Amino acid sequence: MTSLLNFVYTYISDIARSASLFNTLSTFHTSKSSSKLSHNFTNNNEIHTSAARTSTLLSTSTGFQLNPINITSYRLASTNSTWNESSLPDKIKSLDEYKALYDLSINDPERFWKMAAERLDWYRFPTKIKNTEFDYRTDRGVDIKWYEDGILNVCYNCLDRHIDHDSSASKQVAVVFEPDTPTETRHHVTYGELLRDVKKFANVLKKHGVKKGDRVTVYMPMVVDACVALLACARIGAIHSVVFGGFSASNVAERISDCDSTVVITSDFGLRGGKCSPLKSKIDQALKMKQCSNVRTVLVFERNYGNNADVKDACSDQRGTLEWKEGRDFWAHKEMETVNENCPPEKMNAEDPLFILYTSGSTGKPKGIVHTTGGYLTYTSLTFKYIFDYNPGDVYMCTADIGWITGHSYIIYGPLSNRATTVVFEGVPTYPDVSRFWNVVDKHQVNIFYTAPTAIRSLMAHDDKYVTKTSRQSLRILGSVGEPINSEAWKWYHSVVGDSRCPIIDTWWQTETGGVMITPIANAWELEPSSATLPFFGIKTQLFDKSTKKPLTPPNTGELCIQDSWPGQARSLYRNHERFVDVYFKQYPGYYFTGDGCEIKKNGYHCITGRVDDVLVISGHNIGTAEVEAALNEHAGVSESAVVGYPDKKKNQGMYCFVVLKDDTKESEELRKDLIKSVRNTIGAHVNPDVIHFTPDLPKTRSGKIMRRILRKIVEPDTSNLGDISTLTDPSIVKELIKKSPRTKHS
């Protein structure tokens, strides 16, 4: 550490030529020295020391004022600097340290990402670090490879190696399970126990013929067995494809068939908010569909395995009614009794796929995002460690579902590769009451808590006493992910939940990016509500003008692109590289296009303004409008539909559906309800249209294209400036729509 500090000091004097920066630098210099005292916390007392430091940091920023920082000058200055360190620092404690390392990561990515890879254990350490091409116009085309001759195993890195390096790790708690019902017995699973179960389940997969490279669909509730399932796949080199437990049978079927899974892992039931979710029976329905005829094995974890037989819960009545297909369906726990505990990890190439995760796109068919082994783990592991300032002994809790990327990267792979203790929470924030999150925090003495703005907004709608009656003293860091966090919610999270002492880590990233991309690093610099602040190491952002497609110089607002590759990024779409290139690399040749709008301020801070394509982000779920339209159009009474989003304070966006009925169908309240139901049934219960607007027609261009721009303006509502509508076949429809829309105020 000392040599890193020396380096930073040298570096500072190097750039002190820039007099205007000098005051800022001295400030950071001082705060860095004091923070030296408080690293490597291993017990609760020391954790509190860290919290006290945070409090000082934030109290100096009352009113969230920022020191103006000229980031460009730092970048230029560092080209003369030399990096004396042979490995990455344990922590990033100040803006100075960030900037030094950031410059290195941009100017010499090979060196930076080699050091990052050294944090993992490899069977063969890569000699090639980066080999990437973003420009589709080149002979090579878009092609992304990191650590391509490296060999490692993700499961080994998340479990075995901690024990191999230090045998006491086997007794350390890896996963704390917090069940839906607070009174139900919780489990603490140690690294030793988790490794034992993963090896056994990996052997069960092998017994059922699963081999390296095979795809396995996982449809599980938020239980420890879900972690076992994923890690077991990683151990034997099978590619997992997790489907969120809320998706309907037909959506699961679509995802099973797209990646050609022959084995499905599920659970008999799931419990959420006191309700029973019959997952196995949804799989039964899915497998009755023709496209799933290749599935030969279903491994079923029992939700109440090991509990007393007389435990009563919302699923009790349904337990005896499970359909069972002999020869296809097997109880996972019973199978685990038939195999041994010895299962050596498969040696995987760094570029072998680790998993596929489907995400909504602007067209109907979901995209099977492919993440690979070495780059993904290097990236999620490093981001987790730095941004959450994880210290040995900390208890970390992320409330995401395992079915989404946040669950993959920051419940399982990021935390476990850092030997962290991670909480798996089965329930919802409002059950049995709205204090639940904070009771769980107190119960498990959670230090780092990561959730979505939607949850925060739904909780802040209730009296603060539901928060303040809990202690939350263990909390040190609060994270946010999934949607823009509005400043009201940010402030409430900061002042009420965090007692104005915990920094808010607003992390911007995507399923496609694998890990966090723009984010504060806890305690390293000052925060600003609703700003994800600065790019992570190796991430160079670039704004473009939507209409001219020209690059913009900050401060400015535009479409957000990333200039060069980072190890955690998706490599392709499953069996559809062409669509991968079309969606992410064609809009701005040579750049990765995020699909998000962004404002970069004078101080370099980034504020994400939301999606610029046809994907809605509602309560943290990405929903492609095309998928909803397809679901509506399937209804016998519907001729066509157009779905757009509007701003919603609680859910980030609301879903507005314009529906044209067939001539023989009459609009009615019943039909409205029926359409909502059929969308929920087709896609999943997490997709709920807010407004169904029946209309005789839609605004269309002469070539028949629906003018969504106008529909968006109508529902926003912002009807004062509709732009040119003269190209519409029937401009009068616009007036009609405005008149009938419940979102426009008209006299």
Q: What tokens appear for 30 in the block? A: 């001082």
Q: Which of 51, 152, 232, 405 binds ligand WTA (CB under 6 A)?
A: 405
Binding segment toward ligand WTA, per CB under 6 A, in 152-160, 313-321, 380-388, 506-514: 506-514
Look at the chain and count its residues. 747
Q: Which of 161, 255, 303, 611 binds ligand WTA (CB under 6 A)?
A: 611
Listed ranges 93-101, 259-267, 388-396, 481-489: which one lies at the site for ligand WTA (CB under 6 A): 481-489
Alpha-carbon distance of 724 to 542, in angstroms, equals 30
404 binds ligand WTA (CB under 6 A): yes
DSSP string, 264-316: EEEES-EEETTEEE-HHHHHHHHHTSGGGTT--EEEEE-TTTTS-TT---TTG
CB 515 within 8 A of CB 80: no
> Which of 246, 345, 361, 482 lies at the binding interface for ligand WTA (CB under 6 A)?
482
Give the count of residues interacting with ligand WTA (CB under 6 A).
Answer: 21
Write each residue from 309 to 348 as x if it is in contact with ligand WTA (CB under 6 A), else as -, in one continuous string. ----------------------------------------
Cβ proximity to ligand WTA: between 109 and 595 the closer is 595
CB 484 within 8 A of CB 453: yes
C-beta of 88 vs 504, nearer to ligand WTA:
504
**Does residue number 532 form part of the binding site for ligand WTA (CB under 6 A)?**
yes
Pairing outcome for strands 143-146 and 151-152: unpaired
Assign residue 723 a region (left: φ > 0; alpha: ψ between -120 and 50; beta: otherwise): left
Residue of 510, 541, 569, 695 interacting with ligand WTA (CB under 6 A): 510
Q: Which of 608, 631, 710, 715 binds ligand WTA (CB under 6 A)?
A: 608
Q: Which stretch binds ligand WTA (CB under 6 A): 27-35, 131-139, 508-516, 632-640?
A: 508-516
Question: Considering just the CA atoms, what is the radius of gyration of the chain in Å?
Answer: 26
Query: Which region, judged by CB under 6 A, interacts with ligand WTA, from 31-39, 371-379, 400-408, 672-680?
Result: 400-408
DSSP symbols for 682-708: HTBTT---SEEEE-S---BBTTS-B-H
Pick the binder of ligand WTA from 484, 604, 624, 654 (CB under 6 A): 484
Cβ 604 vs Cβ 400: under 8 Å: no
Angle between helices 2-15 and 95-107 (to 10 degrees): 80
481 counts as binding ligand WTA under rule CB under 6 A: yes
617 binding ligand WTA? (CB under 6 A): yes
> For 511, phi and psi rounded to 5 degrees?
-50, -40
Residue 569 or 622: the one with the smaller Cβ distance to ligand WTA is 622
Q: Which two tokens stand for residue 344?
A: 């050596």
Which letter does DSSP use for residue 513 in this model?
G
The Cα angle at residue 281 between residues 276 and 282, in degrees rounded to 5: 90
Told to check if 388 binds ligand WTA by CB under 6 A, we report no
Closest alpha carbon to 351 in 333, 376, 332, 368: 376
Residue type, 320: G
Interface residue with ligand WTA, options 96, 268, 351, 506 (CB under 6 A): 506
Integer Cα distance of 492 and 476 in angstroms: 16
Closest to ligand WTA by CB, 507 or 719: 507
Of 157, 250, 470, 507, the one binding ligand WTA (CB under 6 A) is 507
The CB-of-652 to ligand WTA minimum distance in angstroms stands at 8
Quick one: which segment of 98-106, 403-411, 433-441, 533-541 binds ligand WTA (CB under 6 A)?
A: 403-411
> Binding of ligand WTA at residue 622 (CB under 6 A)?
yes
CA distances from 481 to 140, 405, 620 (A): 35, 11, 8
When the beta carbons of 126 and 595 are compared against ligand WTA, the nearer one is 595
The upper half-sphere exposure of residue 24, i.e. CA atoms within 13 Å in the direction of its Cβ, equals 21
Shortest Cβ 448–ligand WTA spacing (Å) = 16
**Residues 136, 144: Cα–Cα separation, whole Å:** 12
Residues 575-604 that bind ligand WTA (CB under 6 A): 595-596
Nearer Cβ to ligand WTA, position 483 or 690?
483
Q: Vertex 275, ends 270 and 278: CA angle to 5°? A: 40
Which sign does the torsion angle of CA 251, 253, 254, 260 carry? positive
Residue with Cβ nearer ligand WTA (50 or 622): 622
Q: Return the residue matching tokens 């732009």.
A: 723
Using CB atoms within 10 A of its CB, is residue 258 exposed (0-12), middle (13-18) or buried (19+)? buried
Give dist(CA 705, CA 206) in Å, integer: 51
Q: Which of these segments, 417-425, 482-490, 672-680, 702-710, binds ligand WTA (CB under 6 A)?
A: 482-490
Compare residues 174 and 608 and give the one whose CB is closer to ligand WTA: 608
Looking at residue 606, what DSSP letter applies?
E
Q: Does 509 bind ligand WTA (CB under 6 A)?
A: yes
Measured from the CB atom, is 380 or 418 closer to ligand WTA? 380
Nearer to ligand WTA, 506 or 526 (CB): 506
The reply to whether 225 sits near ligand WTA by the rule CB under 6 A is: no
Minimum CB distance to ligand WTA, residue 601 (Å): 15
Contact flags string 341-370 toward ligand WTA, x per CB under 6 A: ------------------x-----------
Q: Which among 519, 502, 501 is positioned nearest to 510, based on CA atoms?
A: 519
Q: Which residue, 356 or 405, is less far from ligand WTA as judged by CB?
A: 405
Q: Does 554 bind ligand WTA (CB under 6 A)?
A: no
- 405, 511 in Cβ contact below 8 A? yes
Rounded Cα gap, residues 212 and 236, in angstroms = 6
Taking the C-alpha atoms of residue 180 and residue 311, their distance in angstroms, rounded to an integer, is 14
Which pair of tokens denotes residue 535?
Answer: 């790019």
List 197, 214, 483, 627, residue binding ligand WTA (CB under 6 A): 483
Per CB under 6 A, does 246 bind ligand WTA? no
> Which of 406, 565 has the CB closer to ligand WTA?
406
190 or 556: whose CB is closer to ligand WTA? 556
Smallest distance, ligand WTA to C-beta of residue 594, A: 6
> Which listed range, 201-209, 386-394, 415-423, 478-486, lies at the site for ligand WTA (CB under 6 A)?
478-486
Q: Which residues pair with 215 in a beta bridge?
A: 239
Q: Which of 511, 531, 565, 569 binds ligand WTA (CB under 6 A)?
A: 511
Is residue 432 reached through a cis peptide bond, with omega within 30 degrees of 0 on the bond before it?
A: yes
Q: Is 514 in the site for ligand WTA (CB under 6 A)?
A: no
Binding window for ligand WTA (CB under 6 A); candidates: 94-102, 507-515, 641-649, 664-672:
507-515
The CB-of-260 to ligand WTA minimum distance in angstroms stands at: 23
C-beta of 263 vs 643, nearer to ligand WTA: 643
First-to-last C-alpha distance (Å) of the chain: 68
Assigned token pair, 161: 């190696």
State phi, psi for 233 to the nearest 5 degrees.
Answer: -60, -50
Residues that bind ligand WTA (CB under 6 A): 359, 404-406, 481-484, 506-511, 532, 595-596, 608, 611, 617, 622
